[in-house]
């Protein structure tokens, strides 16, 4: 089975005349259409808002597109808050969800009047001490145990470092209310990259019932429930994609079954998606530069795990298209590798593909989220450029490729730096 790239070989040949491989390229048209589908799926909830997970693709040009489509931002660090501020986000346009949070990050979040999503019971006292408590606050829930949806285990929240227990949620809401917090939100993230339309509705049911319990036990005024991320994408071409309209309708049914009868029919629903919003609309484009024939057949690319870490880190599958050879038989078995001094620097293992020749352009699919963002500089590797394929077909550079000067910039105070570049 195949996936079709959103760029053609002819387009890539033109692009590479100006921007050499490797590079990540993003599809503006696909991003916008997907954001609009999500908004439509939850249009039944008048307070609905998507807070894009900045960590997935922290590029201001991409986030600006999502802002134009009505999305807020979910930030998890000081620099992500800086990026949000540069994009003129403030107040309830920012959700700050972090853990083991340094004091200066809470201070920055308070300066921006962001919605703070507390990860731990002890952070109540810590936040009050270092930055003061806001009028609105959110708390992250961890139910513990195993999380199941569609009659199968989805993940193990009991092993996750995140969130309050139910008892801590009750006590935390009481304490925060006594300290003057006026309105509340609830947040949870219980499974990652799910391919079932039941995940969000199941999670929503858990959080809606918790909201009723917290309201009844503490008197808290609950204004929003954040379903966080977890909606996955079909990395493999044979995977069945999620149906966002069915997901939105499933959440609506749980909302009407649980919240409306309890008098909580004005609660806003928030999402905090990254992978779902961006992953399918990004490609890593590389060139085949080496062949190796030993115990296996290897194709070496000019990209490496520094450009896409997921296969090395998780053993994750990313589909590969050999551009111009889409219709040729996939009868050659290859390991597709980068040049890091690590044996796990492989984009694919024992992958059946058409015959690959030196100079072939290779598209690695679904890199629009947690692709460039997870890059690193091991072996002194320099991270690639990022490009935007605009709706009119033109291409815009939205992040230049790193240079050796970038790599050594943090020692620019030293004599070593002068020897390197003088």
CA 349 to chain centre: 25
Q: 34 is written with which tokens? A: 């997907």
Tell me the Cα Rg of the chain: 23
What are the angstrom distances between the C-alpha of 411 and each of 330, 378, 402, 403, 417? Answer: 48, 17, 16, 14, 6
Active-site option among 75, 139, 304, 341: 341
Q: At 85, which helix (H) or strand (E)?
A: helix 78-86
Give every CB contact of residue 57 below 8 A, 6+ residues apart in sequence: 26, 63, 274, 278, 282, 368, 369, 371, 372, 373
DSSP structure string for 206-270: HHHHHHHHHHHHH---EEEEE--S-B----STTSPPP-HHHHHHHHHHHIIIIITTTT-TT-EEE
Q: Which distant-in-sequence residues (6+ apart) come within 8 Å of 297 by Cβ?
A: 291, 332, 333, 334, 335
User: Which among 181, 163, 260, 169 is positioned nearest to 217, based on CA atoms?
Assistant: 169
CA-wise closest residue to 26 among 57, 52, 54: 57
Q: In this structure, what are the phi and psi dihedrals at residue 340, rounded to the nearest 5 degrees?
A: -70, 155
Cα–Cα dist 276/409, whole Å: 34
Residue found under tokens 């699919």: 365
Backbone angles phi, psi at 85, to 5 degrees: -65, -40
Rounded to whole angstroms, the Cα distance separating 80 from 94 reads 10
Instruction: Report how far Cα 26 is from the mean position of its chain's Cα atoms.
Output: 14
Contact in structure between 147 and 180 (CB atoms under 8 Å): no
Name which of 164, 73, 175 is nearest 114 in CA terms: 73
H-helix or E-strand containing 44? none
Q: Which helix (H) or strand (E) holds 58?
A: none
Confirm whether 341 is a catalytic residue: yes
Residues recognised as catalytic: 341
């Amino acid at each position: 089975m195949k996936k079709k790239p959103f760029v053609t070989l002819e387009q890539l040949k033109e692009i590479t005349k100006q921007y050499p491989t490797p590079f990540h390229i993003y599809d503006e048209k696909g991003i916008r259409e997907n954001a609009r589908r999500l908004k439509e799926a939850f249009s039944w909830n008048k307070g609905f808002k998507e807070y894009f997970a900045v960590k997935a693709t922290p590029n201001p040009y991409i986030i600006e597109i999502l802002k134009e489509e009505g999305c807020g931002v979910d930030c998890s660090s000081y620099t992500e808050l800086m990026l949000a501020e540069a994009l003129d986000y403030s107040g309830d346009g920012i959700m700050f969800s972090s853990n083991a949070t340094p004091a200066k990050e809470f201070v920055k979040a308070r300066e921006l009047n962001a919605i703070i999503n507390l990860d731990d019971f002890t952070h109540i006292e810590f936040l009050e001490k270092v930055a003061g408590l806001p009028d609105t606050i959110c708390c992250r829930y961890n139910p513990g145990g195993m999380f199941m949806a569609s009659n199968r285990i989805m993940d193990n929240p009991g092993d996750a470092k995140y969130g309050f227990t139910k008892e801590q949620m009750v006590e935390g809401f009481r304490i925060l209310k006594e300290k003057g917090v006026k309105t509340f939100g609830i947040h949870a993230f219980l499974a990652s990259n799910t391919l079932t339309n039941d995940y969000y509705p199941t999670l929503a049911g858990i959080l809606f019932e918790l909201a009723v319990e917290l309201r009844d036990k503490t008197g808290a005024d609950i204004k929003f429930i954040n379903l966080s991320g977890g909606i996955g994408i079909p990395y493999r071409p044979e995977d069945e994609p999620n149906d966002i309209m069915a997901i939105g309708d499933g959440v609506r049914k749980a909302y009407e079954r649980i919240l409306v009868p309890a008098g909580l029919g004005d609660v806003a629903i928030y999402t905090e998606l990254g992978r779902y919003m961006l992953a399918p609309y990004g490609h890593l484009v590389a060139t085949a530069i080496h062949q190796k024939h030993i115990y296996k057949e290897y194709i070496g690319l000019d990209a490496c795990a520094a450009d896409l870490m997921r296969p090395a880190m998780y053993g994750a599958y990313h589909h590969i298209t050999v551009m111009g050879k889409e219709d040729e038989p996939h009868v050659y078995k290859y390991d597709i590798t980068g040049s890091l001094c690590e044996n796990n620097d492989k984009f694919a293992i024992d992958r059946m593909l058409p015959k690959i020749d030196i100079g072939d352009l290779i598209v690695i699919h679904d890199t629009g989220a947690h692709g460039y963002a997870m890059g690193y500089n091991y072996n002194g590797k320099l991270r690639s450029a990022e490009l935007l394929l605009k709706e009119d077909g033109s291409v815009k550079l939205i992040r230049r490729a790193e240079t050796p000067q970038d790599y050594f910039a943090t020692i620019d105070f030293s004599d070593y730096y002068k020897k390197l570049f003088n």
